[in-house]
Amino acid sequence: MHDGGVLRHLFERDGMPVEVPTGAPLTDADLKAGLLREVDLFAGLSLAQLKEISRTLPMTTCQTGGLVTSPDVDEERLYIVKRGRVRLYRLTPDGKQLTLDILDKGRIVGRMSWLAQELTDAYAEAIEDAVICSFTPGELQRLIDRYPSIGLNIIRYLSDRLASSEREREVMAFRSVEQRLATRLLELAHRFGQPENDGTAIDARLTQQELADMIGTSRETLATTISSLRERRILQMENHRVVLLDIDGLRELSEV
Amino acid sequence: MHDGGVLRHLFERDGMPVEVPTGAPLTDADLKAGLLREVDLFAGLSLAQLKEISRTLPMTTCQTGGLVTSPDVDEERLYIVKRGRVRLYRLTPDGKQLTLDILDKGRIVGRMSWLAQELTDAYAEAIEDAVICSFTPGELQRLIDRYPSIGLNIIRYLSDRLASSEREREVMAFRSVEQRLATRLLELAHRFGQPENDGTAIDARLTQQELADMIGTSRETLATTISSLRERRILQMENHRVVLLDIDGLRELSEV
DNA sequence: TCGGATGTGTGGGCCGCATTACATCCATTG
DNA sequence: CAATGGATGTAATGCGGCCCACACATCCGA
């Protein structure tokens, strides 16, 4: 098993203060309002309203590798990613990880008794330096009372997540590793892809272990699958960058 | 593959009117309000408000085996189960089914562009005679405007579903068939169990195929797993009824 | 300069499970 | 009453993928 993550967890669990929502709070109101603007949760609000909101919300930074939150944190709180990327994952008793989602700008995680149970057993780790903003349940309640559209935005967000989560269940149940990998790479390309001379690069540093955790397989199996796809000129992968060379071929694999 | 479901789908797809929200609408306002009362969605509303609501909502019946709705239905609509049980499942291109959830009293499914994408690719089939009530997006919007607590109830509901869906992803990724079966049986017992002289019976007619679809395995593998558990005096299963004899043993299996 | 981490590539053994192929054993229904 | 079709039990076979055990490369910090 890949012990990096696990050991870090154990370490941090053992009384070490979780190092995270600890960065220096940002101060510039306009900057903060600008960041909020890109958040789906606040879609439909005016800039003035965003400034109003941003005055009250603490915004913190979290550096790569830090835990934004974990099941061990008792406090109920909702986190919104403003900048950077956060990996949401579950940890099995024997140390295996399953990455549930990569959250970027505008996405939310958290746990509140009356909302968002999702994080009950999931860890959230910054995989890039991230700017995070967070609420308590009370603050969120106030916001919803004042701006009802926020409630609707939450509904929309949760139901998107639910739809894709249930799609994943089917994929895990019936598809081979190669098919799951193809599916996942296409999705990553859709979300983080950028054209490159000879194909589409996925703009994220990914180790093979991380990819394996996303599709629920072992590091070794993933490596041989990648090799096979590389031989077939479907993709290439070097120093943590994946470049898709034959999107159509990949799509064909994923759809069989 | 078990073609019962598939053939029925094909049949119904081919222009046959989906036979479902077609039962005679119920008329007694008090009865309807009583049914609404048990629905989480309307938690927190007074009986008078429920009567008010029930006047406007169509309530229909759907008999065992009927499809409440399917991805082929274009209309956007939200369904609430009042009576009976509805099985929510996905269908793969090659005819395999994965049961996502069993919905009973008070649970909702549906698809709306601004809410509840969940049903985008899922079928909902009554596995017992059911009473269903449904909204259009407009009606729901009106209800939320009038009774904001409904919006919060939806959020709570979706986030529950999301949490359990993501738990399922982990289970599918890492657990053996026996472990998945144990986990699922415990969950079914929790939701539908009733004590019996020698154990806990699961109050639902379940074929082995249906159980297999719930945990994403084949009918044959499930049969041998059941046999093994039966030999170990952990459960018994006869004419579509499962009785758990050794809950602790089962829990031990599921937790390893 | 030398370990020690950390990431990658590959091969062999083993086992879980999908698949295939039957054989019962009902419950219908003609 | 046979006949049909659904649900069940079980055994043989093959393969995908996990686990283990390496060999190697790169990038550190001491």
CA-nearest residue to B119 within chain A is A163
Nearest to B167 by CA among A168, A178, A20, A86: A168
CA-nearest residue to A174 within chain B is B216
pLDDT digits (tens, 9 = 90+) for B58-86: 888 888 888 888 888 888 888 888 888 99
CA A98 to chain centre: 12
Contact call for residues B64 and B126 (beta carbons, < 8 A): yes
Burial of A11 (0-12, 13-18, 19+ CB in 10 A): exposed
Can you tell me the distance from the alpha carbon of A44 to that of A134, in angstroms, rounded to the nearest whole number? 20
- Tokens (6 digits) for B204: 């639902």
Q: Do B122 and A166 touch (CB under 8 A)?
A: yes
B 48-87 residues with CB < 8 A to A: none
- Indicate the pLDDT class of residue A25, thresholds 50, 70 and 90: very low
Share of chain A above pLDDT 90, in %: 36
Contact call for residues B183 and B171 (beta carbons, < 8 A): yes
pLDDT at B182 over 90: yes
Q: Which residue has the tokens 């479907």?
A: A234
Where is pLDDT greater, at B249 or B10?
Answer: B249
For chains A and B, CB pairs below 8 A equal 111
Can you tell me the distance from the alpha carbon of B70 to that of B88, in angstroms, rounded to the nearest whole number? 10
Q: Does A16 touch chain B (CB under 8 A)?
A: no
Can you tell me the distance from the alpha carbon of B188 to that of B201, in angstroms, rounded to the nearest whole number? 10
Where is pLDDT greater, at B13 or A204?
Answer: A204
pLDDT score, position B249? 94
Disruptive mutation site among A109, A150, A155 for chain B (greatest number of B CBs within 10 Å): A155
pLDDT digits (tens, 9 = 90+) for B141-162: 888 888 878 888 888 888 888 8
Residue type, B161: R
Q: Do B120 and A169 touch (CB under 8 A)?
A: no
Residues 4-33 of A with CB under 7 A from strand C: 4
- Shortest CA gap A26–chain B (Å): 30
3-state secondary structure at position A75: coil
Closest residue to C18 by CA to C1' distance?
B218
Mean pLDDT lowest among A51-65, B120-134, B159-173: A51-65
pLDDT at A246 over 90: yes
**Which residues does chain A have within 8 Å of residue B121's beta carbon, measured at their own beta carbons?**
167
pLDDT at B17 over 90: no
- Nearest by CB to B159, from A118, A151, A163: name it: A118
Q: Enumerate the β-bridge partners of residue A132.
A: A60, A81
The tally of CA atoms less than 13 A away on the side-chain side of residue A186 is 17
> Which of chain C's bases lie under 7 Å from a protein CB?
6-12, 16-21
Burial of A180 (0-12, 13-18, 19+ CB in 10 A): buried
Phi, psi of B124 (to 5 degrees): -130, 115
Share of chain A above pLDDT 70, in %: 82
Q: Which residue has the tokens 């399917």?
A: B70
Contact call for residues B98 and B89 (beta carbons, < 8 A): yes
Where is pLDDT greater, at A54 or B126?
Answer: B126
Q: Do A90 and B161 touch (CB under 8 A)?
A: no
pLDDT score, position A23? 40
- Nearest by CB to B174, from A118, A170, A216: name it: A216
pLDDT score, position B37? 63
Nearest nucleotide to A226, CA against C1' atoms? C9
Torsion, Cα of A146, A152, A156, A162 (10° steps): 90
Nearest to B159 by CA among A89, A165, A168: A165
Closest residue to C17 by CA to C1' distance?
B221
Can you tell me the distance from the alpha carbon of B6 to that of B92, in angstroms, rounded to the nearest whole number? 10
Q: Which residue has the tokens 């910054």?
A: A126
Q: Give me the CA B205–C1' D28 separation in Å, rounded.
A: 62
- Shortest CA gap A30–chain B (Å): 30
pLDDT digits (tens, 9 = 90+) for A87-117: 999 999 888 999 999 998 888 888 776 665 5
Contact call for residues B21 and B134 (beta carbons, < 8 A): yes
How does DSSP assign A97-142, residue by residue? EEEEEEE-TT-EEEEBTTB-GGGGGEEEEESS-EEEEEE-HHHHHH
Q: Enumerate the β-bridge partners of residue B98.
A: B90
The secondary structure element, H or E, covering residue A196 is strand A193-196
CA-nearest residue to B174 within chain A is A216
Where is pLDDT greater, at A73 or B227?
Answer: B227
Residue type, B88: L
Disruptive mutation site among A103, A121, A162, A252 for chain B (greatest number of B CBs within 10 Å): A162
pLDDT digits (tens, 9 = 90+) for B96-107: 999 999 998 888
3-state secondary structure at position B100: strand
Q: b/e for B177-187, b at 16 or more Cβ within 10 A?
A: bbbbbbbbbbb
Mean pLDDT lowest among A2-11, A82-91, A151-160, B8-17: B8-17
Query: How much is the mean pLDDT over chain B?
Result: 81
- Indicate the pLDDT class of residue B218, thresholds 50, 70 and 90: very high
